[in-house]
Amino acid sequence: MKLKTRLGLMFLAISLLPFSVSITYIILRSSESLRTGARGLLEEYTGNIAGKMNTVFSREIGIVEGLAHTPQFRALDWIGGAPFARSIAADNPTIESVLLVRSDGTYYRSDNAGNPARGNLVTSNNGDPGASPLNISTREYFQRIMVRRTDMTVVSDPVLSRSTNRKQVVIATRVKTAGTMPIGMCAVTMPTDTLLATFTGSITDLQRFFGTQAHIAIIGSSGALIADFIYDPELGTYREVALSEPKEFTLDALPEVMRTGIELYRTRKEPLIGYSVGRERHYIAVQPIVNTDWQLVLAVPENQVYAAVIDIWGSMLTIAIVTALVVLGISFITGRQIARPLVKTAHTLKDIAEGSGDLTYRLSVSGKDEISEVGNFFNRFIETLHALISQVKHESAQMGDVSRELQSRSSLIKQDIERITANVSDLNFQTEEQGASVTETSSTIHQIAKNIESLSQQIEGQSASVTESSAAIQQMVSNINSISVNLERAGGSFESLFTVSSNGRESMERVIDLVKEVSQQSEQLLETNEIIDTIASQTNLLAMNAAIEAAHAGDAGKGFSVVADEIRKLAEDSSEQSAIIETALNKVVETITTIVKASAEADESFSLVTGRIREANGLIQEIRMAMKEQNEGSRQVLEALDEIQNITVQIRDGSLEMNQGAAMILKEMSRLEGVSLKVQQSTQEIARSSDAISMSIEEILETTERNNTMVDSLNELTSRFKL
C-alpha cells in the first residue's frame, strides 16, 4: 500500500473514530429514550381517548341513578313517573328515551305510549289489545342487574332496539325498595350517533401519531365489538365500520393481529404489550373506560411506533456518510502533500540501489518541517556515499594489481608440487601392493585358525552331545521298563474289572427279572382287591336288604336288624380298606415300573462299560508289546553311542595340536602386517600432505581468479555512479 493511501486512511480513522463513537452513543441513548417515549405515547394517547369516552356517560349515569330513587319509579308507577321521564328525555339531547322495566322483563318507554290494554306496556302492536308485551329479560344488561344483582350502574353494549330497531346504548340501574331485592330496573337509551361523534373527534390526530396502519377499537367484556376504526385509502382518513352499522358485531370481525393482542392482554393484564404475528411485530395498548365494561384497544405496528427513532437513525447515518466522504477527501489530499517529497527521495534511492544512480543529484529543500529535515539528511547521505564510492574505486584498482602478481607466483608453486605428488604416488602404489599381499596372507591364516578352533569347538560339542544322548537313552530305557511293569499291572486290573462288570450285569439282569415278578404279583393283588371291593359292595347291599326285612318283621326282627347293621358297617369298613389298599398298590406298581426302567437303563450302562473295558484291555496289550520292542532298540543305540564317544575323543586331541600351531603362525603374520601398515601409513600421509598443498594452491589460484573478477565487477559498479 502506498504511503499517501496509508496516511489518508490513518487520518480518516483518527478523525472518524471519535465521531463514530459519539454518533453511536447518541443513537443508543436517544433511541432508548425515544423508544420509551413512543411506548409512553401509546399509553397516554389511549388514556386520553378513554377519558373522553368516560365523560359521555357521566351525566347520563347520574340521571339514571336519580330516577331510580324517585318515589314513582321505586313504586313502579309509570303513570305518575311518565311525565317526569319525558321531560328529562326532552331536556337532554344525548338521551333518546327513559325506560322503566319490571322484574319479568316487560317495560315502559318515554317515547312510546304503549298499549293501553296492557297498562301502557310496550307491545309489538300497541293498537291490538291482545298483543303480547315486548320482553328484554334476555338482554345482557337485564341479566346483570336483575339476575346477577349487580350494584353498579351498567352501560350495555350497543344493541338493536326491539321497539325502534335502531342501534342504541342502554344505561341501567336497579330499582329497589327498603329491602335489597330489586323489584325492577330504570334505564335511559343513548343513540350511537353521540358515541360515534365523541369517538371520531377523539382520534383526529391518530394518523399523525401512528400513520395509516394503526387499528383502534372499543370492545365489551362479553366479546362484543362496539366500535372499530380503520384507515380508508379512498377517503384518506380513518373510518368507523362497526358502531355506525345497524347490526351487532363480535371480536371475530377484527383482523388476526388485533385478536392476538387482545388474547394476550386478557392473559397478562398489562396495559401495553409487544408481540409478533408472523414476521411482523406489533404493540397493543388497552385502556378500560371508567364506569363501563368497555375497553379501548389500539394496535400499531412496531415500525410505526418507532417511526421517530427510525427517522433519527436515518438522519444520523446520512450525516455520518457525508462526514466520512469529506474527511476521506481531506485525508487523501493531505497525505499526498506529505508523501510527494518522500516519493521523489524514494525514486532517487531506487536508482542508487540499482547501481546506476547519479551521486551528484541533490534534493531541493525548503521549509523547516520534518520533511525538509529528511531532504537535508538525504543530501548529506548522498555526499557521504559519493566519497565512499570514490575511495572504493581507487582501492579496487590497487587490489587488482596485487591479485595479478599473486596469481603468477602461485602458478610456479603449483608446478613444483605436481612433480612431488607424482613421485609420492608411485611409492604409495608399491606400498599398497605389499600391504595388500600381507593382509591377504594374514586373512588366510586367520581363517585357517578360525576353522581349526571352530572344528575343536564342534568336536567338544559333539562329545558333550553324545554323552547327553547316552544318558537320555539310558533314562528312556529305564522309563520304558517302568511303563512295561505298569502296563502289566493295568492289564491285570482291566481283566479283573471286566470280570466284575460282567458279574454286575448278570446280577442286574436277575434284579430286573425279580422286579418284573413283583410287578406281576402286585397286579394280581390289585385284581384280588377289586374282588374284595365287589364282595364288600354286595355285602352292604345284602345288609340293606336285611334291614328292610327286619323293619317289615317289627319287634321280631329287631335282633336281626342289629346284625344287619353290623354287617353293613363291616362291609363299609371293608370297602374303605379296599380303597386304601388299592391306592397303596397303585403307588407300589408305579414305583416298581420306575425301578424296572431304571434297571433297564443300568443294564445298558453295564453293557457299555463292559465293551469299553474290553477295548481298553486290547489297547494295553498292544502298547505292552510295542514297549518290549522299544526296549530292545534302545539297548542297541546305547552300544553305538559308546563307539562314537571313543572316536570323538581321538579327534579332539588332534584338533588341539593344530590349534596351537595356527596361533604361532598368526603371531608372526600380525607383526609383519604391522610393519607393512606403518610403511603404508607414512606414504599415505606424504601423499595427503602433497594433495593438501596442491588443493591449497588451487584454492589460492581460484581465490585470485575470484578476486580479479570481483575487482573487475567493483570497478564496473563504481563506474556506473556519476562522481
Q: How confident is the model at residue 189 (pLDDT cuts 50, 70, 90)?
A: very high
Percent of the chain with pLDDT over 70: 57
DSSP code at position 134: P
200 is a domain residue: no
363 is a domain residue: no
Q: Could you give phi then psi for residue 597, rounded to 5 degrees?
A: -65, -45
Please give the Cα distance from 99 to 170 (Å, whole number): 9
Secondary structure class of 535 (helix, strand, coil): helix
Q: Which residue has the higher pLDDT, 520 or 75?
A: 75
Containing domain of residue 93, as a range? Answer: 69-156+165-188
Please give the Cα distance from 414 to 693 (Å, whole number): 9
32 is a domain residue: no
Beta carbons of 331 and 9 less than 8 angstroms apart: yes
Mean pLDDT of 19-30: 62
Residues, the chain, total? 723
pLDDT at residue 380 is higher than 70? yes
Per-residue pLDDT reduced to its tens digit, 403-456: 667 667 667 666 666 776 766 666 566 666 666 666 776 676 677 667 667 766
Read off the C-alpha cell for 269.
393484564
pLDDT at residue 46 is higher than 70? yes
pLDDT at residue 149 is higher than 70? yes
276 is a domain residue: no
395 is a domain residue: yes
Percent of the chain with pLDDT over 90: 5
Mean pLDDT of 141-150: 83
Mean pLDDT of 4-19: 62
Which CATH number goes with the domain that contains 704? 1.10.287.950
pLDDT at residue 234 is higher than 80? yes
Report the run of H or E that residue 516 belongs to, with start and end.
Answer: helix 370-553
Secondary structure class of 685 (helix, strand, coil): helix
Which CATH number goes with the domain that contains 131? 3.30.450.20
Please give the Cα distance from 410 to 390 (Å, whole number): 31
Per-residue pLDDT reduced to its tens digit, 649-680: 676 666 666 666 666 766 766 776 666 677 66
Beta carbons of 356 and 348 less than 8 angstroms apart: no
Q: Which residue has the higher pLDDT, 128 or 429?
A: 128
pLDDT at residue 326 is higher than 80? no
pLDDT computed for residue 99 by the predictor: 92
Kindly report the pTM of this predicted structure. Answer: 0.43
DSSP code at position 552: H
224 is a domain residue: no
* Tally of domains within the chain: 2
Direct distance between the N- and C-terminal alpha carbons of the chain, in angstroms, rounded to an integer: 34
pLDDT computed for residue 243 by the predictor: 81
Mean pLDDT of 572-583: 76
Mean pLDDT of 560-581: 75
680 is a domain residue: yes
pLDDT at residue 622 is higher than 80? no
pLDDT computed for residue 354 by the predictor: 60
pLDDT computed for residue 106 by the predictor: 93
Mean pLDDT of 605-631: 70
Read off the C-alpha cell for 13.
480513522
pLDDT computed for residue 171 by the predictor: 92
627 is a domain residue: yes
Mean pLDDT of 51-71: 86
Q: How confident is the model at residue 309 (pLDDT cuts 50, 70, 90)?
A: low
